Amino acid sequence: MASDWNDIPDEEFRSIFRTWVDQNCPSHLRYMRKQRPLFNEVAVWYHALAAKGWLAPTWPRQYGGMGLSAAKHMIYVEEWGRLGCPRIPDHGIGLVGPLLIEYGSEEQKAHYLPRILSGEHVWCQGYSEPNAGSDLASLQTSAVLDGDEFVVNGQKIWTTLAHCANWIFVLVRTERDAKVRQKGITVLLLDLTSPGVRVRPIANLRGEADFCEVFFDNVRVPLKNLVGKINEGWTVAKSVLGHERIFLGAPTRPEYALERLRRLADARGAFEDPAFMSRFARLRLDLYDLGSAFERYAKVLRAGGELGAGVSALKIFTTELYQRITEEMLTVAGEEARLADDLAAGDVEIDAMNLFLDSRSPAIFGGSNEIQRNILAKAVLRLPG
């Protein structure tokens, strides 16, 4: 095994990674209909990656990660998508790990990181609240210090996979009177099995319960579960995404959807229709050019640079393209667009309605597209206001 993955040429790394994943990711887990499988449903794959040492691509090797550079990490993510591997509950790997590695104490790293890798701790992200969505800084869930424990009260919502997680990293308000609302926010690691925690799954438009409400009623959290400094959690919370912001704009979803559209259209003879053909051509080139735009930002990362605010353009474009493709699927489906079920297309089933409904959400989460446009207006165009 290489001492440093980053010393291997990109294409060689791609091939090593791809070969192993293709051999080891169970076929029944490929191209899962569920966007958000529960931990138990994909545990074999999770543990297989962990055993191989490939579960945490960006963590430094000393913590059991692969220590991949941004460039190699992109290859990892690309191949993962191309092989149709399922999404694993990845809040621990993708968010909590980097959070602790940057801001956590040595004791916290030693305690939590191995438990993420072993799957003992499954994490979820408690940021949003009923009255704090786009305006996250208005969050109200409170934590009051009582001796060497915080007492947490309040509510989180839209917490993805909280019903299969046993830990949550939460943003809480530790100071009410701060002049700037972003001050007075703190990050806590909270054991979901503590007394006073209640989790209620919420069914989404597709009838699946991917996200939940989480209620805290006098939940006691040890002081040592504080990450970084008290009242300074906003910076911590905002920084965890780092270079991974580029993946919000990855072409994965539209790529998959366009392939499904192609199969459906093929089976329905739609390519004989010049009107469809010209709409398909537009979608195809939008996807193609999204690849070029993605590459523009990927290059910056590969050169060791930092992503600017402009990367929001990718998120907007990819999520809206995903929607347009799935809307076209419903057009091609004709009267069958009335059905909730998957549609037969030759020897495969196309989950047109499932994808259409799913495509509603990425434009909302991860900073809604309006918020992304606001960011671009301010930070890139430098418009007044």
Ligand X SMILES: Cc1cc2nc3c(=O)[nH]c(=O)nc-3n(C[C@H](O)[C@H](O)[C@H](O)COP(=O)(O)OP(=O)(O)OC[C@H]3O[C@@H](n4cnc5c(N)ncnc54)[C@H](O)[C@@H]3O)c2cc1C
- Which helix (H) or strand (E) segment holds residue 350: the answer is strand 348-350
Give the one residue of 39, 215, 276, 365 binding ligand X; rule: CB under 6 A. Answer: 365
Which partner from the list ligand X, other proteins, none does 125 bind, CB cut-off 5 to 8 Å by kind? ligand X
Which partner from the list ligand X, other proteins, none does 117 bind, CB cut-off 5 to 8 Å by kind? none
Name residue, tokens 């169970």: 26
Number of residues that bind ligand X (CB under 6 A): 17
Residue with the CB atom nearest ligand X in the bound state: 133
Spatial contact of 98 and 58, defined as CB atoms under 8 Å apart: yes
Name residue, tokens 């990050």: 187
Main-chain dihedrals φ then ψ at residue 215, nearest 5 degrees:
-105, 140
Residue 94 or 126: the one with the smaller Cβ distance to ligand X is 126
Provide, rounded to whole angstroms, the least separation between the CB of residue 363 and other proteins: 6
The rounded distance, in Å, linking the Cα atoms of 42 and 38 is 7
If one asks whether residue 140 binds ligand X (CB under 6 A), the answer comes out as: no
**Which of 208, 244, 320, 349 does the annotation list as catalytic?**
244
Name residue, tokens 């906003």: 234
Main-chain dihedrals φ then ψ at residue 9, nearest 5 degrees:
-60, 150
Spatial contact of 76 and 18, defined as CB atoms under 8 Å apart: no
Cβ within 8 Å of residue 89, ≥6 positions away:
37, 38, 39, 42, 46, 122, 123, 124, 161, 164, 165
Residue 31 or 271: the one with the smaller Cβ distance to other proteins is 271
* Span of 128-136, 259-267, 283-291, 347-355 interacting with ligand X by CB under 6 A: 128-136
Q: How many CB atoms lie within 10 A of CB 226?
A: 22
If one asks whether residue 137 binds ligand X (CB under 6 A), the answer comes out as: no
Main-chain dihedrals φ then ψ at residue 211, nearest 5 degrees:
-125, 170
Residue 64 or 126: the one with the smaller Cβ distance to ligand X is 126
Residue 37 identity: P
If one asks whether residue 372 binds ligand X (CB under 6 A), the answer comes out as: no
Instruction: Please work out, in degrees rounded to the nearest 5, the angle formed at the alpha carbon of residue 195 by the alpha carbons of 194 and 201.
Output: 80
Residues in contact with other proteins by the rule CB under 8 A: 128, 131-135, 138, 157-158, 202-205, 207, 211, 272-275, 277, 323, 327, 330-331, 333-341, 353, 360-361, 363-365, 368, 370, 373-374
Spatial contact of 279 and 258, defined as CB atoms under 8 Å apart: no
Provide, rounded to whole angstroms, the least separation between the CB of residue 117 and ligand X: 21
Residue 69 or 312: the one with the smaller Cβ distance to ligand X is 312
Q: What would the x/- binding string for ligand X be over residues 168 to 187, using CB under 6 A?
A: --------------------
The rounded distance, in Å, linking the Cα atoms of 172 and 143 is 6
Provide, rounded to whole angstroms, the least separation between the CB of residue 312 and other proteins: 14
If one asks whether residue 158 binds ligand X (CB under 6 A), the answer comes out as: yes
Residue 58 or 160: the one with the smaller Cβ distance to other proteins is 160
41 among known catalytic residues: no
Q: Extract the runs of DSSP E, i.e. beta strands, from 7-92.
A: none
Residue 277 or 348: the one with the smaller Cβ distance to other proteins is 277
Give the residue numbers marked as catalytic: 244
Interacting residues toward ligand X by CB under 6 A: 125-128, 133-134, 158-160, 211, 361, 364-365, 368, 370-371, 374
